[in-house]
Amino acid sequence: MLESLRDMNLPGYVEDILVQSKGVVIPKTREELLALAMGNAENTEFHIEYEVEGKGTVLEATAIKCKNGVVVNYTDDYMRRRDPDCLLIADKKPTDKPRYEDVCQSDFESLREQTFDWLKKQELIFFPFKSGGLEYGYDSILIAPSNAGFFAAGLGDLQGFLNIDEISSDFKPKAIVFLAPPFRHTHFDGKQIVVHNRLNEIHEVYSYNLYPGPSAKKGIYGVLLNIGEEEGWVTAHASTVKVITPYDNEIVIMHEGASGGGKSEMIEDIHKEMDGRAILGRNTVTGEKNYLVLNETCDLIPVTDDMALCHPKMQNDSKKLVVKDAESAWFLRLDNIKCYGTSPQYEKILIQPEEPLIFLNMQAVPGATCLVWEHTLDQNGKPCPNPRVILPRRLVPKAIDMPVEVDVRSFGVRTPACTKENPTYGILGILHILPPALAWLWRLVAPRGFNNPSIIDSLEMTSEGVGSYWPFATGKMVTQANLLLEQILHSTNTRYVLIPNQHIGAYEVSFMPQWVAREYIARRGSAKFKPEHLVEARCPLLGFGLDSLKIDGQYIRRAFLRPETQQEVGTQGYDAGAKILTDFFQQELMKYYTDDLDPLGKQIIDMFLAGATVKEYLEIIPMRY
C-alpha cells in the first residue's frame, strides 16, 4: 500500500494517519465502492453506526441493497436535509463566514488533532478524485472510516473518481476531505458541521456528519469557489441545457437560483397529465385549472445539473459565457415524483439503471426495486421532502461533457401565492427579461424563497447569498460580487431572464413557468426579444414583462404574464408585494456596499436605492435584445 501512496505527494500528516490506522482500503473500481457501501458484497442490509463517548453505540443510518442500487436512510430526520448554517472556517484567511474559534470558543488545532487520532483508530477508505471534474478539476483525496462506504461511493460518483493505479506522478492534492461522523455528537450537539481549513497549499474539508450534501457535494463546491477567488473565476450554481426545437433551432439556457429554485427541473421534460395536457396553473382561491397543450416539445440535452464550471481556460471570443459541468454525477431531488408516470424521463433511468445507484431518503426492501415515488416517511408521518439519488452523468442519455456557450442565463425564484388579502412577493409573471445590471442585483440577493424542500429553514424568505452559492463559499461576499459583475461585463452576448416557480399571483404553477419559458425562448431563435413586445414591469426589480406570449399556437393568459391583472391580486396586492420585495433587496444589498465593491457595482446599488427605472438600468449596462 505504501508504495502506491509514495507517488501521490501526500503531506506527512496524511501519510501518518494512513500508516497508523487499523488498515486502509483503496477501492479501484466503482463496484468495489458499492460493495463497501454494504459492508461487503454479500450483505443485503448494513448498519452504519459508531461508538460515541457518553452515548454508546449510535446508529446513524442503514443501507439496503435493492435491485437498482443502495438505499440509505438516516435515523434522524434532521440528517435528511442540508443545514444551511453548517459551514465553519478554521483558518485565519479573509472570510465573512463564522469562524470555528468564535463559535466554539476554542482553537481548531485541538479538534484537528483529535480527528486525526480518531481516524488512526479506524479501518479507512482512501482514494483520489478530481474536484471540479476530470478535465479541468483539481487533485483531491478522501479519508473516511470504512463503514461509511456509501458516503465514499457517493463522493466518488459526484466527483471525478480516480483509480490509484492510473494517476500520474505529478498528482498533488489541492483538497482533502476528512470524514469523522461521531464528532457531531461529541463536539457539535448533533449538528451537521463541516469545517473548512484553507492552508496555503491544501484546502482541508472536515465533514463531521454523514449527509453528503454539505461536504461531498457542497464542501467540494466550497473548494472550487475558494480556488476561483484566488484565480479570478466562478463556479456558477446552475443547471444548463441545450434546447433543440421541433424546427431544429438550438439554444443553450443556464438556470441559476437558490436551492429549490428549479435547477434540476430545467433539464426535465414538461410534466403532463395522462391525457397529454399540462396544467399551467390552478387558482388557489377558486380551484380553477388552466391547461396547455403542446403537441411537440423541444428536445433537451443536459449539460450541467447544479454546478457549472466557468473556468478561464474555456472562455473564448464569442462574448458569451462558456460553461462545463463541474461534477461527474448529479444529486437529484425526487420530491416532485409522487406517482408512476410523473417523470418518465427519470423513472426509466432510475428504476432500471445500467448500473446500481445510491438513493437517499427512499423506502426500500432488500432485494426489491426502489421506486422513486416512495419516499421515506419522517417522524411526523409525512414523506421526507428531500429524497435524493446520485446519478452519474454517463447514465444520462445524450448528456454533453464539453464546454458550451450560454445564450440565456435564467434565475429561478420560489414564490408563495399572492392575493390582495395576503400580499407576498409572489408577483412575478411567467417570464421577465432583465437588463444585465438587474441580473447582477438578483444574483447578489438570491432569494431562497417559499417552502424550500432541500434545506432546513423556518423562514419563508431569506437570502441564499451572492450567486446563490454563498452557503458553500469560504471567502468574502464582496469578492464574489465583483467576480460576478466582471463575468457579466465580459459576456455581453448572453441574455438574462427571471422565472418564478410554485406560484404566480393566486395561481399554483409548480415549475411550469420555466418549462413554458424554455419552450418559448427556444422557439424565438437566438433568444432575441423585440423591444415592442416588452413592457416595463410595475415593479422595476422585475425588468421587462411580456405584452403577450404565444406558444405552439396558443396564447398564455395575461393573468400569468402580469399578476396585477388577476382579480385576486389587483394593483393593491401587487404593490404591497413589490414593497416586500424591494425592502428585502434594500436590506440584503447593503451587505455589499463596502470600499471593496467595484465602483460600477456601487453605482448600480446607488441607482436601486434611488428608485431607478428599468430604462436607467439599461443605460448603465446595455442589453442585447
Q: Is the model's pLDDT at 452 over the cut of 80?
A: no
Round to whole Å and give the CA distance between 541 and 440.
11
Least confident of 9-13, 150-154, 284-288, 333-337: 333-337
Per the CB < 8 A criterion, the answer to whether 27 and 152 are in contact is yes
Q: How confident is the model at residue 458 (pLDDT cuts 50, 70, 90)?
A: very low
- Report how far apart, in Å, the C-alpha atoms of 280 and of each of 270, 290, 511 are: 10, 5, 9
Query: Could you write out the three-class secondary structure of 457-508?
Result: CCCCCCECCHHHCHHHCCCCHHHHHHHHHHHHHHCCCCEEEEEEEEEECCEE
- Report how far apart, in Å, the C-alpha atoms of 49 and of each of 59, 140, 384 are: 4, 26, 22
Per the CB < 8 A criterion, the answer to whether 456 and 462 are in contact is no
Q: How confident is the model at residue 526 (pLDDT cuts 50, 70, 90)?
A: low
Round to whole Å and give the CA distance between 623 and 409.
13
Q: What is the DSSP letter of 44?
A: S
Count CA atoms closer than 13 A to 81's CA, side-chain side: 22
Q: Is the model's pLDDT at 598 over the cut of 80?
A: yes
Q: Is the model's pLDDT at 341 over the cut of 70?
A: yes
Average pLDDT over residues 220-246: 96
Q: Which grid coordinates are listed for 588?
A: 440584503
Q: Is the model's pLDDT at 612 over the cut of 70?
A: yes
- Report how far apart, in Å, the C-alpha atoms of 144 and of each of 12, 188, 278, 552 are: 17, 19, 46, 53
Query: What is the CA 11 to chain-centroid distance, rounded?
Result: 31
pTM of this prediction exceeds 0.85:
yes
Interval 13-31: pLDDT, tens: 999 999 999 999 999 999 9
For 407, the enclosing helix (H) or strand (E) is: none
Question: Residue 364: phi, psi to the nearest 5?
Answer: -150, 145
Q: Which grid coordinates are listed for 61?
A: 443510518
In the chain, % of residues over pLDDT 70? 97
Q: Is the model's pLDDT at 53 over the cut of 80?
A: yes
How much of the chain is in helix, strand and coil states, percent to nearest 5? 30, 25, 40
Average pLDDT over residues 112-132: 97
- Report how far apart, in Å, the C-alpha atoms of 434 and of each of 415, 557, 574, 577 are: 18, 21, 19, 19
Q: Is the model's pLDDT at 625 over the cut of 90?
A: no
Q: How confident is the model at residue 60 (pLDDT cuts 50, 70, 90)?
A: very high
- Report how far apart, in Å, the C-alpha atoms of 521 and of each of 30, 249, 298, 405 are: 40, 11, 11, 16
Round to whole Å and give the CA distance between 246 and 250.
10
Q: Is the model's pLDDT at 459 over the cut of 70?
A: no
Q: Is the model's pLDDT at 63 over the cut of 70?
A: yes
Interval 381-395: pLDDT, tens: 999 999 999 999 999
Interval 345-382: pLDDT, tens: 889 999 999 999 999 999 999 999 999 999 999 999 99
Residue 344: Cβ within 10 Å count: 12
Round to whole Å and give the CA distance between 590 and 598.
14
Cβ within 8 Å of residue 545, ≥6 positions away: 429, 431, 432, 433, 534, 535, 536, 537, 561, 562
Mean pLDDT of the chain: 93
β-strands 404-405, 357-360: how paired? Answer: unpaired
Angle at Cα 155 formed by Cα 149 and Cα 161, nearest 5°?
A: 100
Q: Is the model's pLDDT at 462 over the cut of 90?
A: no
- Check residue 276 and give its pLDDT: 86
Q: How confident is the model at residue 460 (pLDDT cuts 50, 70, 90)?
A: low
- Check residue 226 and give its pLDDT: 97
Average pLDDT over residues 210-235: 96
Q: How confident is the model at residue 274 (pLDDT cuts 50, 70, 90)?
A: confident
Query: What is the CA 47 to chain-centroid distance, rounded?
Result: 29
Q: Is the model's pLDDT at 6 over the cut of 90?
A: no
Round to whole Å and give the CA distance between 535 and 543.
9
- Check residue 259 and give its pLDDT: 80
Least confident of 27-41, 71-85, 169-183, 255-269: 255-269
**Domains of the chain (ranges, CATH numbers):** 2-60+84-231 (3.40.449.10), 235-321+406-593 (3.90.228.20)
